[in-house]
Amino acid sequence: MKISTKQRRRAMMLALAAMPLAAALRPARSADSEPIAQPGDKTDAGFIERAFFMRRRALDSGDQGYGAVVVRDGIIVGQSPSHVVVKRDPTAHAEMEAIRDAARRLGSRDLSGCTLYSSSPACPMCEAAAYWAGIERMVFGRGASDGGSPRLCG
């Protein structure tokens, strides 16, 4: 069977018209599902730098200036800026959001063996969340101060 130029053109137009629909039917990819770029410097200083990069992101989005990162075995498994203002959620501190991000990416609420890096010392809510997640160590601030193991009540 011979396909005419007109038919070929019509098929091409239909394919083009269907493209945006196909894109719309694809599951939405949020920034959360993007792989995390790993820093070259895999020391406390390198991970604190990423926490401060998240802090910059928070400020750029109009949120409060906090950022946090969760690391396991030298790999960033979760990270987030503060979302308190953007999500209108008083519990969306950077540390809470980074813990949520890590748990989602790892498919587990057990974050034992992880270290939480924050641009500022964790508040009692975030420290309790780190405790419940089984996080072993907290590190905070420009000087990468050792915050020790999270405790349930400060």
Binding site for Zn ion (CB under 5 A): 93, 123, 125-126
C-beta of 36 vs 123, nearer to Zn ion: 123
**47 with 53: CB under 8 angstroms?**
no
Q: Which residue lies nearer to Zn ion by CB, 13 or 125?
A: 125
CA nearest neighbour of 98 among 70, 120, 74, 73: 70
Q: Which two tokens stand for residue 37?
A: 């770029």
The 137-140 sheet, strands edge to edge: 75-81, 67-72, 114-118, 137-140, 145-148
Nearer to Zn ion by C-beta: 42 or 57? 57
Alpha helices in 26-145 (DSSP H): 44-60, 94-106, 124-133
Catalytic sites, residue numbers: 95
Least distance CB 129 / Zn ion (angstroms):
8
To Zn ion, the closest distance from the beta carbon of 124 in angstroms equals 8
Shortest Å distance, C-beta 19 to Zn ion: 44
User: Minimal CA–CA distance to 49: which of 142, 115, 126, 137?
Assistant: 142
